[in-house]
Amino acid sequence: MSTPIVETSSPVTLIGGGSLGAGDLDTALKRAPLLVAADGGAAQALAAGRMPEAVIGDFDSLDARTRAQIPDGRLFPIHEQDSTDFDKALRSIRAPLVLGVGFLGARIDHQLAAFGVLARQVGPACVLLGPEEVVFHAPRSVRLALAPGDVVSLFPMAPVTGRSEGLKWPIDGLSLSPVGRVGTSNRALGPVRIEVDGAGLLVIVPRRALDAVIAGLTG
């Protein structure tokens, strides 16, 4: 990572300009109080009565009215078009964890782009909050204190192998691929452990498991 724009020892909430559910921002800020906006996400932050510590992006989605409300010292334009604003913001943050809101729902192309950023492991570990689920990239090993019956979907964004404990259908010996076998709609038997041999596996679990995911990624 190059010199970060935001550096903190605490988790960060990153808000985007996409679909934002009622309570999403408050849910994230209770766990990650420092707020950063990716480009047009600044408008959603201000509409919720929150001033972001930093706004990062190419600013093509940041309208003049919103920009005028934010002190210049909190605006950090990155003028290149080879990456998304989510990518630009995430790679500019140095923190133990980022909770992303306003990146899932609405446009499918934006969601796919966000999943690609997660799979490339840009910046710190990041959990995206959706209406019903949370999504994160699997590190080499993670333990999740899930409840029996919780849906655990494993979606490979690249060919990947690994091992698991606590899943109804273990992934040991399987070769997962986005154009081959995927691991959606698995079930937890209780606490789950997932180990992977490389990058590219996204884990999707119920939103109620958010705190278990945070503990698993930061513990």
Q: Are residues 109 and 149 in the same domain?
A: no
Overall domain count for the chain: 2
Residue ending a domain, choose from 82, 103, 131: 131
Q: pLDDT digit string (tens) for 89-147?
A: 999 999 999 999 999 987 899 899 999 999 999 999 999 999 999 999 999 999 999 99
| 159, 82: one domain | no
Strands 183-196 and 151-156: antiparallel
Decide if pLDDT at 1 tops 70. Answer: no
Interatomic CA distance for residues 158 and 135, integer angstroms: 16
Q: How confident is the model at residue 219 (pLDDT cuts 50, 70, 90)?
A: confident
pLDDT, position 82: 86
Q: What is the pTM of this model?
A: 0.95
Which runs of E-coded beta strand occur in 28-73?
34-38, 54-57
CATH code, domain with 99: 3.40.50.10240
| pLDDT tens-digit readout, 49-71 | 999 999 999 999 899 999 999 99
Co-location of 15 and 44 in the same domain: yes
